[in-house]
């Protein structure tokens, strides 16, 4: 069974909800999905052994949360080249974080990225349930699951 890891950074829980929905989409496609808070990732070893990794952060002051920045430096050493990658996050109006994470995974980690990042507005999260589940399915398709 293919395995996927979803790591999220959140302040008020919205990005965690998105992470859980992406995991649901992956599981519906037969992928073993693990969801982790960024605070629980202790070393690059925690990021190895997965066919796909999705990283997410909410946007604050035009940026990703500090813990996700630290995780990206850690992930640089995790040997993720060629693994399937995806990025997501809740936002209010500008939503830069998912784009920055996506670009780092593509250009620095050289991961096999899905079409684009998933950005969901906090006020519209209800309507985003299907979008987030579908994003999980898209990740599963990219793995070939």
Query: Which stretch, 23-31, 45-53, 59-67, 68-76, contacts ligand FMN (CB under 6 A)?
Result: 59-67
The binding track of 112-131 with respect to ligand FMN, each residue x by CB under 6 A or -, is ----------x---------
- Give yes or no for residue 11 binding ligand FMN (CB under 6 A): yes
The string of DSSP codes covering the chain is: --EEEEEEE-SSSHHHHHHHHHHHHHHHTT-EEEEEEGGG--SGGGG-S-SEEEEEE-EETTEE-HHHHHHHHHHTTS--TTSEEEEEEEESS--HHHHHHHHHHHHTS--EE-SS-EEEEGGGTGGGHHHHHHHHHHHHHHHT-
Among 79, 92, 116, 127, binds ligand FMN (CB under 6 A): 92
Count, residues near ligand FMN per rule CB under 6 A: 18
Contact between 58 and ligand FMN (CB under 6 A)? yes
With binding defined as CB under 6 A, does residue 60 bind ligand FMN?
yes
Residues near ligand FMN, by CB under 6 A = 10-15, 58-62, 90-95, 122
């Amino acid at each position: 069974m293919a395995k996927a890891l979803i790591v999220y950074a959140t302040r008020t829980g919205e990005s965690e909800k998105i992470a859980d929905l992406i995991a649901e989409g992956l599981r519906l496609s037969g992928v073993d999905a693990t969801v982790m808070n960024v605070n629980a990732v202790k070393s690059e070893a925690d990021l190895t052994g997965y066919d796909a990794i999705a990283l997410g952060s909410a946007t604050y002051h035009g940026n990703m949360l500090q813990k996700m920045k630290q995780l990206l430096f850690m992930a640089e050493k995790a040997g993720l080249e060629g693994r399937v990658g995806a990025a997501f996050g809740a936002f209010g109006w500008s939503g830069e974080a998912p784009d920055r994470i996506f670009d780092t995974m593509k250009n620095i980690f050289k991961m096999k990225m899905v079409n684009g990042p998933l950005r969901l507005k906090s006020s519209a999260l209800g309507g985003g349930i299907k979008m987030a589940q579908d994003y999980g399915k898209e990740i599963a398709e990219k793995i070939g699951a």
